[in-house]
Amino acid sequence: MTLEEIYGPVKDDLKLVEAMLGQIAGSDIPLLSDMLEFALLNVGKRLRPAVTLLSGKFYNYDLDLLVPMAAAAEVLHIGTLVHDDMIDSSAMRHGKQAVYRKYGVNNAILLGDYLFSRAGSLAAMTDNLRVIKRFSETLMTISGGELREGRVGFDPCSARDNYYQWIRDKTACLFVMAAECGSVLSGCPEGQVAALKDYALNFGLAFQIIDDILDFVGDQSILGKPIGSDLSEGAITLPSIIYSELNPSDSIISEIIIQRRKELVPQAVGKVRSSGVIDDCRKIAGQFYLKACNSLEKLPDCQARRSLAALAEFVIDREW
């Protein structure tokens, strides 16, 4: 299935989200307007809005609430990317310059701050206190999580646990928010809200693991960023962790992470690729995918549920 087919049940409504993002990009401050257009429009697959809308499809599907919420999820996501790219010194995003490279560090800090508050303002349009509170908590989780030790150090014994905690905080929690808010806004019973949150958590973990795999084996031109970026930026992800676990006498990963020996990155990428570790990672991502699908079983069978399942499969099989 193509992404367009998967998005079928919410295809027209995603256009409303897109239109709202277009409105948001307008500002009476020319530099801000310019930056918003660059950062918000024609980027990404709009996965978080899609999860929000699809999660709202099971009960009372109210576009007046769901469209701003879907936009809030996307704007929050993009705000975190703007700051993350700066923190990670990533030069490219979605095949274009990172915002801080195009507009400078100071403007990128302010744009991120603006996007967070804009997203909060969109979430507040729902007039739903639970949704609004979940929104604030999500940004707390994302920014606080990045300050965990796991992000900078490398302790082989706790590396996997730290990694899962890290990707839960930085990636999965936003999908969880999207699913929870989408379903809560449609008046979904709590059991099914929980099922959708569980789906989103596992979906998010699988999504991030695939992301981290692609950083070793992906196609640079499709990804829009160089292979080995994570290691270059000092981020230790699942492939590096499993490689280090299986090869305790090979210190190449910790030399890159701790001694910042970036020149070793291509060699490390080669070692990981030829080691079979990538297959192990794919299996783990596959397990999270299965958990995500199992969670959906608790929901009524309908087109939206099939779309969520297909979306998880699409994400697992993706090359971008």
Contact residues: a second copy, CB under 8 A = 27, 29-32, 35, 80, 83, 86-87, 106-107, 109-114, 116-118, 120-121, 124, 127, 129, 132-133, 135-140, 142-149
How far apart are CB 188 and a second copy at their closest, in Å? 21
Give the H/E segment covering residue 96: strand 96-97
We find the least distance from the C-beta atom of residue 50 to a second copy, in angstroms, to be 24
Q: Are 159 and 236 in contact (CB under 8 A)?
A: yes
Q: Which two tokens stand for residue 277?
A: 């570790």
Minimum gap (Å) between residue 132 Cβ and a second copy: 5
Q: Residue 56: which of 115, 137, 128, 141 has the closest Cα? A: 128
Min dist CB 22 to a second copy, Å, is: 17
* Residue 93 Cβ vs a second copy, minimum distance, rounded to whole Å: 16
Nearer to a second copy, 109 or 258 (CB): 109
The pair phi, psi for residue 96, each rounded to 5°, is -120, 175
Residue 140 or 246: the one with the smaller Cβ distance to a second copy is 140
CB 36 to a second copy: min, Å: 10
**What distance lies between CA 223 and its chain's CA centroid?**
14
Contact 163, 145 (CB under 8 A): no
Q: Which CB, 7 or 100, lies closer to a second copy?
A: 100
Question: By CB neighbour count within 10 A (0-12 exposed, 13-18 middle, 19+ buried), where does 109 fall?
Answer: middle
Smaller CB separation from a second copy, 5 or 113: 113
Query: What's the min distance (Å) between Cβ of 178 and a second copy?
Result: 16
Nearer to a second copy, 139 or 312 (CB): 139
Beta carbon of residue 39, minimum distance to a second copy (angstroms, whole number) = 13
- Residue closer to a second copy (CB basis): 162 or 244: 162
Please count the CA atoms within 13 angstroms of the CA of 90 that sit on its side-chain side. Answer: 26
Nearer to a second copy, 144 or 276 (CB): 144
Query: Closer to a second copy at the Cβ: 139 or 205?
Result: 139
Nearest to 284 by CA among 228, 208, 181, 171: 208
Cβ-proximal residues to 309 (8 Å cutoff; 6+ apart), any chain? 292, 293, 296
Backbone angles phi, psi at 198, to 5 degrees: -65, -40
Alpha helices, H only, the chain = 3-6, 11-24, 30-40, 47-55, 63-87, 99-103, 105-124, 129-145, 159-167, 173-185, 190-217, 220-223, 229-232, 238-246, 252-258, 265-273, 277-296, 303-316
